[in-house]
């Protein structure tokens, strides 16, 4: 080995030694603070943990994960040991990155490349699952605080406009996603599903009646998944398509479109997506035949995703349209009467979904604007 190479290895070993010292000190600091990713969420009056030191620990974890990734990716390249622990010990992060960029373009052994692709994929899925849990935990913590703040604010006035003005840096969708997640009983056991999926479960759960929520006990996510054949205790990746199919089933059900998760799962496994046009069409044909939406998805799948001749120009019966228009005035009148009666008695039966009330207010405001523009 040349003199320059000896110097490089020596420098790499010194850098690695310093990095390990920093990691050890940071780990000790974490233990003293009482936690890792949850520390900043619980720091405060009467609660353990501290805020300012936490990001340093997280950055250190990211640095270590990045180095492990490169160690696994460069094992066996140009004299680099196969064992990742040896690689981490003897090479710096920059050395490993340079080695990867330099050596891979010269590899012609396809079997070796196939092995590396599979190893990288497994590593990616593992890290992605860990990241999803952390992000979901962060969203949950934010949601807990937001829900409490909304509860307090509801005593003083409206929530939506006030929240927009108070938190311009957090858009409405992000706020609602976090609040839905925090409102789900037992959600902390399913952080690996990710923020988007958990939020969709929360959207569905919050629209249920109190009686319907009670039937799902204190584990609504688990009950909904088990009901449709998901084997619990397995990595999320093993059940990704099935879980996404179940979520799509519940999402469509809210629009009065009944399609079984099995039909949707076959559709997704064919690498197809349910488009906005599909949803609109299925909502229309479901008015005449509740089985029609499932048959439509099966037909699209059989046609390889081609919708020509299947996605027809569908319109509901004129009687349905006329009935809906006439019902608007009646429904608004009934709602007003019901609320006046409730305020008079000062009695409200069941739980009150404040999010649903906000959505109703928005819808009524849009209705008023539309009617005024056509007056």
DSSP lists the bridge partners of residue 44 as 47
pLDDT at residue number 86: 53
Instruction: Place 16 in a pLDDT band, splitting at 50, 70 and 90.
Output: very low
Give the C-alpha separation, 159 to 166, whole Å. 10
Is 74's pLDDT higher than 80?
no
Number of structural domains, the chain?
A: 3
Write out pLDDT tens, residues 43-73: 554 444 433 444 445 556 555 656 566 555 5
My answer on whether 305 and 336 are in the same domain is no
Domain final residue pick, 316, 338, 359: 316
Q: State phi, psi for 271 to the nearest 5 degrees.
A: 65, 35
Is 265's pLDDT higher than 80?
yes
pLDDT at residue number 36: 39
Whether 86 is in a domain gets the answer: yes
Instruction: Place 182 in a pLDDT band, splitting at 50, 70 and 90.
Output: very high
Give the C-alpha separation, 177 to 192, whole Å. 16
Residue 26: name the closest of 69, 64, 57 by CA.
Answer: 57
Averaged pLDDT of the chain: 75
My answer on whether 10 and 86 are in the same domain is yes
Give the C-alpha separation, 352 to 198, whole Å. 21
Whether 230 is in a domain gets the answer: no
Whether 219 is in a domain gets the answer: no
3-state secondary structure the chain: CCHHHHHHHHHHHHHHHHHHHHHHHHHHHHHHHCCCCCHHHHCECCECCCCCCHHHHHHHHHHHHHHHHHHHHHCCCCCCCCCHHHHHHHCCHHHHHHHHHHHHHHCCCHHHHHHHHHHHHHHHHHHHHHHHHHHHHHHHHHHHHHHHHHHHHCCCCCCHHHHHHHCCCCCHHHHHHHHHHHHCCCHHHHHHHCHHHHHHHHHHHHCCCHHHHHHCCCCHHHHHHHHCCCCCCCCHHHHHHHHHHHHHHHHHHHCCCCCCHHHHHHHHHCCCCCCHHHHHHHHHHCCCCCCHHHHHHHHHHHCCCCCCCCCCCCCCCHHHHHHHHHHHHHHHHHHHHHHHHHHHHCCCCCCCCHHHHHHHHHHHHHHHHHHHHCC
Whether 82 is in a domain gets the answer: yes
Calculate what percentage of the chain has a pLDDT beyond 70: 64
Write out pLDDT tens, residues 134-160: 899 999 999 999 999 999 998 888 899
Give the C-alpha separation, 316 to 325, whole Å. 13
Whether 243 is in a domain gets the answer: no
My answer on whether 9 and 97 are in the same domain is yes
pLDDT at residue number 34: 39
pTM metric for this prediction: 0.58
What average pLDDT does range 11-21 have in this prediction? 47
Domain final residue pick, 51, 85, 107: 107
Residue 129: name the closest of 222, 248, 240 by CA.
Answer: 240
My answer on whether 80 and 32 are in the same domain is yes
Query: Taking CA 243 as the corner, what is the angle to CA 237 and CA 248, rounded to the nearest 5 degrees?
Result: 140
Is 273's pLDDT higher than 50?
yes
My answer on whether 30 and 102 are in the same domain is yes
My answer on whether 358 and 282 are in the same domain is no
The residue count for the chain = 375
pLDDT at residue number 82: 52
pLDDT at residue number 344: 65
Whether 49 is in a domain gets the answer: yes
Whether 139 is in a domain gets the answer: no
My answer on whether 13 and 100 are in the same domain is yes
Domain containing 103: what range?
3-107
pLDDT at residue number 199: 92
My answer on whether 88 and 12 are in the same domain is yes
My answer on whether 34 and 93 are in the same domain is yes
The residue that leads in pLDDT, 19 or 170, is 170
pLDDT at residue number 68: 63
Structure token pair of residue 235:
């990595």
Is 90's pLDDT higher than 70?
no
Domain final residue pick, 270, 291, 316: 316
Is 241's pLDDT higher than 80?
yes
Give the C-alpha separation, 232 to 283, whole Å. 32
Write out pLDDT tens, residues 5-14: 444 444 444 4
My answer on whether 78 and 11 are in the same domain is yes
Is 373's pLDDT higher than 50?
yes
pLDDT at residue number 3: 45
Which range is most confident: 55-59, 84-88, 95-99, 274-278? Answer: 274-278
My answer on whether 26 and 103 are in the same domain is yes
Alpha-carbon distances, residue 64 vs 19, 68, 93 (angstroms): 9, 6, 9
My answer on whether 73 and 96 are in the same domain is yes
Whether 324 is in a domain gets the answer: no
Query: Is the Cα dihedral 115, 121, 126, 130 positive or negative?
Result: positive
Q: Which of 40-54, 60-74, 206-220, 236-250 has the lowest mean pLDDT?
A: 40-54
């Amino acid at each position: 080995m040349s003199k320059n190479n000896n110097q490089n290895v020596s420098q790499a070993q010194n850098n690695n030694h310093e990095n390990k010292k920093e990691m050890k000190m940071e780990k000790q600091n974490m233990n003293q603070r009482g936690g890792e990713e949850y520390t900043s969420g619980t720091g405060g009056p009467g609660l353990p943990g501290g805020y300012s030191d936490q990001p340093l620990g997280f950055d250190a974890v990211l640095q270590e994960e990045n180095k492990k990734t490169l160690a696994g990716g460069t094992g066996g390249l140009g004299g680099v040991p196969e064992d990742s622990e040896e690689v981490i010990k003897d090479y710096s992060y920059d050395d490993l990155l340079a080695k990867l960029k330099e050596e891979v373009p010269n590899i012609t052994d396809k079997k070796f490349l196939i092995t590396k692709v599979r190893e990288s994929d497994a590593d990616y899925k593992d890290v992605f699952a860990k990241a999803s849990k952390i992000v979901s935990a962060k969203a949950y913590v934010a949601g807990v605080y937001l829900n409490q703040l909304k509860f307090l604010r509801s005593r003083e006035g409206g929530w939506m406009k006030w929240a927009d003005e108070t938190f311009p840096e957090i858009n409405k969708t992000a706020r609602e996603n976090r609040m839905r997640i925090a409102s789900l009983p037992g959600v902390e056991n399913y952080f690996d599903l990710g923020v988007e999926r958990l939020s969709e479960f929360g959207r569905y759960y919050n629209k249920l009646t109190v009686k319907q929520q009670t039937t799902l006990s204190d584990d609504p996510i688990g009950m909904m998944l088990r009901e449709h054949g998901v084997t619990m205790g397995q990595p999320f990746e093993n059940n990704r398509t099935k879980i996404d199919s179940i979520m799509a089933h519940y999402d469509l059900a809210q629009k009065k479109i009944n399609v079984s998760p099995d039909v949707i799962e076959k559709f997704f496994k064919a690498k197809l997506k349910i488009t906005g046009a599909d949803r609109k069409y299925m909502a229309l044909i479901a008015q005449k035949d509740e089985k029609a939406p499932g048959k439509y998805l099966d037909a699209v799948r059989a046609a390889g995703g081609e919708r020509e001749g299947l996605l027809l120009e569908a319109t509901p019966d004129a009687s349905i349209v006329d009935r809906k228009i006439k019902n608007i005035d009646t429904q608004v009148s009934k709602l007003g009467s019901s609320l006046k009666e409730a305020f008079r008695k000062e009695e409200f039966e069941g739980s009150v979904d404040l999010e649903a009330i906000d959505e109703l207010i928005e819808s009524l405001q849009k209705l008023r604007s539309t009617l005024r523009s056509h007056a």
